[in-house]
Amino acid sequence: MYALAFGIGTRNRKDEWLEVYFPRPVFRPEQTLVNEIAEVTGYAGGNTDIDLDQATVAQLSDKISDAGQKSLLTMITGSTKPLVLTILETDSELQTTPETYLKLHLLSHRFVVPNEQNLEGIYPLLPNVAWTEQGAVDLDELEELQIAARLEGRVLEVQAVDKFPKMTNYVVPSGARIAHAGRVRLGAYVGEGTTVMHEGFINFNAGALGPNMVEGRISQGVTVGGGSDLGGSASTAGTLSGGGNIVITIGQDCLISANAGTGIPLGDRCTIEAGLYITPGTVVQILDEERNALRLVKARELAGMSDLLFIRNSQNGVVECRTNRKAIELNATLHRHN
């Protein structure tokens, strides 16, 4: 069994799911819990969503022995909001909106890291909605609520119109600071000890493993290792860019300086100087420890290597790759003369 969770959601007037909040998802649940749920709901296997009425919630609350889930069921007893039990027997392609929200929760709860689970089919299953102080609103139903609010002498605050909500309305990870919550989407992974500053951004299925300082942008599919720093306006090419074939990872103890960026994976202890963006096709002059020119390569040939310092020569504008002098070990690539 992959995961299961009890959720509180929002439907539109067509009875379609707009979003689901899963406060206590269970990753790799014990078989005892699965059996107790099956005894009440008739669950017989597979990935499924089970709508819950109050009678079923009460029965589950009596039956389930897991203390955390039992107390959650007690709290949602009497709810007027739609309730759902989503069960994922396998990590397979997404089929429903509640399944999609559950997998995004698993990422933000740190049960899985980016690119570790199957998110195929995600976009059609996430409706584009208005995110307001009253929650998710179907765009076709928004005007009526706006007019009603105006007639009451107030304004309905629409914070965003998007498929993804902000993470902190669903998950607040422990040991992290997030200065501007609207810049971190549900499905982001924010590791212990990480600070996301006001201009930092983390997309879904992306994240910083912690501890990290994030003042730049971590694009979809990108994972940043612990101890690495993305400076102000630094950026990373996501898997949605350029055809989505290259997964960008940044290793541990790296520095992507202000206004810099990378379109290639980096190993550990790498530095890119301020204002320099490295793409796979960037022509790079490799230098040895004494700054002697060795050869020219495309940056893609250095992908994933450690202990590299990328810097632009201020005299001739050539992008150079030098040994990162802060590194403990030197990368053998820098010492080849052929």
pLDDT for 324 equals 76
Lowest mean pLDDT among 72-76, 225-229, 246-250: 246-250
Distances (CA, A) of 303 to 20, 24, 56, 183, 240: 39, 39, 53, 28, 18
For 230-262, what is each residue's pLDDT tens digit? 999 999 998 754 445 678 999 999 999 999 999
Number of neighbours of residue 79 by Cβ within 10 angstroms: 12
Domain positions in the chain: 3-126, 130-162, 167-335
Q: How high does pLDDT run on average in the chain? A: 93
pLDDT for 289 equals 81
Prediction pTM value: 0.93
- Residues 6+ away with beta carbon under 8 Å from 63: 36, 39, 40
Mean pLDDT calculated for residue range 305-325 = 92
Number of neighbours of residue 245 by Cβ within 10 angstroms: 7
pLDDT for 334 equals 40
130-162: CATH, from 3.30.60.70, 3.40.50.1100, 3.30.420.40, 2.30.40.10: 3.30.60.70
pLDDT for 245 equals 65
Q: Which fold has domain 3-126?
A: Alpha-Beta Plaits (3.30.70)
Q: Please say if the pLDDT value at position 329 is more than 90.
A: no
Which CATH number applies to 167-335? Answer: 2.160.10.10
Q: How many percent of the chain have pLDDT more than 70?
A: 94
Ramachandran category for residue 319: left, alpha or beta (phi over 0 → left; psi -120 to 50 → alpha)? beta
Mean pLDDT calculated for residue range 290-319 = 94
Q: Please say if the pLDDT value at position 338 is more than 90.
A: no
pLDDT for 290 equals 82
Is 167-335 the same fold as 130-162? Answer: no
pLDDT for 137 equals 98
For 154-195, what is each residue's pLDDT tens digit? 999 999 999 999 999 999 999 999 999 999 999 999 999 999
pLDDT for 236 equals 95
Q: Please say if the pLDDT value at position 287 is more than 90.
A: yes
Give, rounded to a whole angstrom, the gap between the first and last alpha carbons of the chain.
Answer: 52
116 is catalytic: no
Question: Which of 215, 289, 301, 320 is flagged as catalytic?
Answer: 215
Q: Please say if the pLDDT value at position 326 is more than 80.
A: no
**What is the chain's alpha carbon radius of gyration, rounded to the nearest angstrom?**
24
pLDDT for 285 equals 96
Q: How many percent of the chain have pLDDT more than 90?
A: 90
Mean pLDDT calculated for residue range 199-226 = 97
Q: Please say if the pLDDT value at position 328 is more than 60.
A: no
Q: Is residue 257 a contact partner of residue 234, using CB atoms and an 8 Å limit?
A: yes
For 76-119, what is each residue's pLDDT tens digit? 999 999 999 999 999 999 999 999 999 999 999 999 999 999 99
